[in-house]
Amino acid sequence: MVNSHSKLIAAVCVLLSTGAVPVAQGDVSDPDPGPPPDTGAVASADPATVTTPDGWVLTVKAENETELPVAPLTTATSSREYLVGGTFTGTVTGGGKTKLSGGTLEAGYQIGCGIELGQVKLIGQVGMSFSASLANVIPTGVSFPISGTIEIHPKPGKTTQVPVDKKAFKAAPARVTLKDVHIKIDGCVGQSFLRSYATLTSSTTDTDDVVAYYGTTTSV
């Protein structure tokens, strides 16, 4: 005789064998995306300011600068190429005693090369040989064997200034914005250095006043 207690145990066993028991699953996190791509962002230097003898205050500054080294399109190991950008602003304020007639704002970059590629010279000799068919005595091949060494004469490095844009204005403020601009130099076999520059010129009838900004230097 099966009692009620045995019937209850059997019913529980049937339910466990036929019913799905939910299993707690841990949270599946996304795979590590890795570091963000390099945008080449660099910190801008302090604004450059000058007060003219006439009483005008000239200020030139930069913000949102980027200087990203990229592979040169020429694939030459002696080329250096950068992808650059930034916003350069020039203002003229104050209560000068002369009448302003406008001015210019120029923005660009200076690239310094530690060692410049100089003269390349072959020390040795070049020969010539022929191969021919004996039947027709017609040359079938020509070769130019080269023997010797290649001598490279590096030169001291130099700085190349690359103007990108020059904006003439009648009244300040003036602005130049650059985005994804390619600049490069060739013949550089040493370390290269890059920095932005911006030059603000304010003019009156008889005078020009100039103040220049130089950005943070990036080395590659």
**At a CB cut-off of 8 Å and minimum separation 6, what does 174 contact?**
89, 90, 103, 104, 105, 167, 200
Which band of pLDDT confidence, cut at 50, 70 and 90, is reported for residue 1? Answer: very low
Q: What is the mean pLDDT of residues 129-140?
A: 53
Higher pLDDT, 40 or 143: 40
Higher pLDDT, 150 or 93: 93
**pLDDT tens digit string along 155-206?**
777 888 999 999 999 999 999 999 999 998 888 888 889 999 999 999 999 9
pLDDT of residue 11: 47
pLDDT of residue 36: 81
Task: Provide the percentage of residues in the chain whose pLDDT is more than 70.
Answer: 68
**CB–CB of 80/185 below 8 Å?**
yes
Q: Could you give all domains of the chain from N- to C-terminal order, each with its CATH number?
A: 39-114+157-220 (2.60.40.1650), 119-155 (no CATH)
Write out the DSSP string of 48-98. EEEE-TTSEEEEEEEEEEEEEEE--TT--TT-EEEEEEEEEEEEEEE--SS
pLDDT of residue 215: 97
pLDDT of residue 83: 93
Q: How far apart are CA 121 and CA 117, in angstroms?
A: 12
Whether the bond into 47 is cis, omega within 30 of 0? no
